[in-house]
A and B are shown apart, each in its own frame.
Chain A
Amino acid sequence: MSAPIIVVRGLGKRFSRGGKDVDAIRDFNLEIAEGEFIAIVGPSGCGKSTFLHMVGGFESITSGDLLIDGKTVTGPGPDRGVVFQEFALYPWRTVAENITWGLEIQKRSKAEQKAIVERLLAKVGLTHFRDHYPAELSGGMKQRVAIARTLAFDPRILLMDEPFGALDAQNRELMQEELQTIWNEARKTVIFITHDIEEAIYLADRVIVFSARPGRTKADIRIDLPRPRDIDVKKSKEYFDYRNQIWDLLRDEVLRARAEFA
């Protein structure tokens, strides 16, 4: 693999809740190269979202290293675009205005903003909804706006925290295909958190299986399915094998996580 741009070494994250210390992540290691699509699966509460928040710069590092291009992550910034599970759209702004929010911060010209908005609206298929408000949109549409907003400021790295978690199963399938298409054009580096193994296999170059708390890498599986991936790949034997392999690994962790809370 080409030189990694994201390097995680011995990463640890500790939370103090009401006097007790909890290790969300301990001794986590990972290397990601430019243009790789990494999916992380793991049981609930295992720390995968926490890891994403740390890469995004929203949570501090307790121990270990988290380097991007050799420099430690210190705070959030537009080089790592985040797509949140809860969409995080601003209810007082229209679809178009939500997409241009980041561009306004970057002080782009009105003409530039307009061009970018139109391009992205077309890309996510919401051209006719540019003047609607988030409250008027369905969950799937809101997530598309959120994705458009993040793509608008063209981050080098995309961090996606269970972006399709709030969608129904049918919309989820469609959104996976759309994400594939979008990603194929730009080939950004992506860290994608999900519960859904099949989603992970379909989208990613590598699937990282997160252990139960405290989180660390249990397995790092390279997905050798041809790209670009069309929906037929989901019917292939290789896909089926990957799915079983990953679920076997994951199942143990899910049971362990359950036992901890029992």
Chain B
Amino acid sequence: MMIVRWLGRYYSVFVLLAVYELIVRLGLVSPRLLPSLTVIGDQLWIYLANGQLLMHAQVTLYRAFAGFALALVGGVVIGTLMARSRLMERLIEPIFYFGYPIPKIALYPVFIFVFGLGTGSTIALIFLECIYPIAIHVHAGMRSTDRVLIWAARNMGASQAQVFWRVLVPAALPIFFTGLRIALPVALIITLVTEIIGESRGLGYFVTYASASFQYARGMAAFVVIAVIGFALDRALQLVRRRVVFWQRTDVEIK
């Protein structure tokens, strides 16, 4: 029963996959260009079995997480600083406000020179790119706390520190998680981008190498792995959010 309901919900995915397979089988496009699903599945199996896909996945994930973790710490610190001190806000906020629409990936070549080609520069770029949404959301979350919540706390005799930890932090959590939901895929994307541009390991590299060698089925198999990872990470984050911010179901946006 559950399976049927599940199939019903995701019917469009199956329809599209079926249409795709049909196009391939009918020979409308060269099978080399558009491999059949079975061939892709085959390649997926082979490369999972021989451990290559897992190895590259590990590299990619390590980079993404390392950068994300650093950005998390940095973002929370900066966001909190801006929320607590008007002076800091005045000094730092423009950097975030004006810097947001600037594609920080443009600085990647500079990072390569500073950190050398490889994991270091990737993590540095992820740090720079992901710190933006996290800091902005932490700042917004704390600033937008309903003032009656703070007043009630002070009315009950809470000190500054107590107001911070017992009111501001929990109140900011929903918006904070929205920031994380934005930043996490970004970390993955940046990792893959750097691997596509010029790397020798990682899933992004794997896809590029496969495409360059005309092994499109292999490339698409890796793509499937990437898709699964991206999807799983997002779901995992939602699960964490559901447990931590248990009192609120829907995502909160910054107004």
Which residues of A pack against B, CB within 8 Å? 56-58, 75-78, 80-82, 84, 86, 88, 90-92, 101-102, 105-106, 133, 135, 149-150, 153
Q: Which residues of A contact B151 (CB under 8 A)?
A: 56, 58, 76, 82, 84, 88
A82-B152, A92-B247 known; 18 new pairs, CB 8 Å cut-off, are A57-B154, A76-B155, A77-B157, A78-B157, A82-B151, A84-B148, A84-B151, A88-B152, A91-B248, A92-B245, A92-B246, A101-B153, A102-B157, A105-B158, A105-B162, A106-B157, A133-B247, A153-B157
Q: Which residues of B contact A90 (CB under 8 A)?
A: 149, 167, 170
Question: In the bound complex, what is the Cα–Cα distance between A57 and B151 (angstroms)?
Answer: 9
Instruction: Say whether chain A's binding surface is mostly helix, strand, loop, or mixed.
Output: loop
Q: Tell me the nearest residue of chain A to B151, going by C-beta.
A: A58
Instruction: Say whether chain B's binding surface is mostly helix, strand, loop, or mixed.
Output: helix
Question: In the bound complex, what is the Cα–Cα distance between A135 and B174 (angstroms)?
Answer: 15
Q: Does A101 lie within 8 Å of B170, measured CB to CB?
A: no
Tell whether A75 pairs with B148 under 8 Å between CB atoms, given A105-B162, A133-B247. no
Q: Which residues of B contact A86 (CB under 8 A)?
A: 146, 148
B156 at the interface (CB under 8 A from A): yes
Q: Tell me the nearest residue of chain B to A161, going by C-beta.
A: B148
Question: In the bound complex, what is the Cα–Cα distance between A86 and B152 (angstroms)?
Answer: 11
Q: Which residues of B contact A75 (CB under 8 A)?
A: 154
Question: In the bound complex, what is the Cα–Cα distance between A149 and B167 (angstroms)?
Answer: 16
Q: Which residues of B contact A150 (CB under 8 A)?
A: 155
Task: Give min CB distance, B163 to chain A, whole Å.
Answer: 10
B128-167, CB < 8 A from A:
146, 148-149, 151-158, 162, 166-167
Tell whether A91 pairs with B152 under 8 Å between CB atoms, given A105-B157, A105-B162. no
Q: Which of A75, A80, A92, A150 has the most CB of B within 10 A?
A: A92
Question: In the bound complex, what is the Cα–Cα distance between A106 and B246 (angstroms)?
Answer: 27
Tell whether A88 pairs with B154 under 8 Å between CB atoms, given A105-B162, A133-B247, A135-B247. no
Which residues of B pack against A, CB within 8 Å? 146, 148-149, 151-158, 162, 166-167, 170, 245-248
Which listed residue (A56, A92, A133, A135) contacts B155, Cβ 8 A?
A56
Q: Does A91 lie within 8 Å of B148, measured CB to CB?
A: no
Q: Tell me the nearest residue of chain A to B162, going by C-beta.
A: A105
**8 smallest beta-carbon distances between A and B, as pairs:** A102-B156, A88-B148, A76-B154, A88-B152, A78-B157, A91-B247, A82-B155, A84-B148
Which listed residue (B149, B157, B162) contacts A88, Cβ 8 A?
B149
Q: Tell me the nearest residue of chain B to A77, going by C-beta.
A: B157
Question: In the bound complex, what is the Cα–Cα distance between A133 and B152 (angstroms)?
Answer: 18
Q: Which residues of B contact A57 (CB under 8 A)?
A: 154
Q: Which residues of A contact B166 (CB under 8 A)?
A: 101
Q: Does A84 lie within 8 Å of B152, measured CB to CB?
A: yes
A-B contact pairs, 9 of them (CB 8 A): A56-B155, A58-B154, A82-B151, A84-B152, A86-B148, A88-B146, A88-B152, A101-B156, A133-B247
Question: In the bound complex, what is the Cα–Cα distance between A149 and B166 (angstroms)?
Answer: 16
Q: Which residues of B contact A91 (CB under 8 A)?
A: 247-248
Q: Which residues of A contact B246 (CB under 8 A)?
A: 92
Q: Which residues of A contact B153 (CB under 8 A)?
A: 101, 105
Question: In the bound complex, what is the Cα–Cα distance between A149 and B151 (angstroms)?
Answer: 14
Q: Tell me the nearest residue of chain A to B159, going by C-beta.
A: A105
Q: Which residues of B contact A88 (CB under 8 A)?
A: 146, 148-149, 151-152
Q: Does B155 lie within 8 Å of A81, measured CB to CB?
A: yes
Q: Which residues of B contact A102 (CB under 8 A)?
A: 156-157
Q: Tell me the nearest residue of chain B to A103, going by C-beta.
A: B156
Question: In the bound complex, what is the Cα–Cα distance between A101 and B156 (angstroms)?
Answer: 8
Task: Give min CB distance, A184 to chain B, whole Å.
Answer: 24
Q: Tell me the nearest residue of chain B to A78, going by C-beta.
A: B157
Q: Which residues of A contact B149 (CB under 8 A)?
A: 88, 90
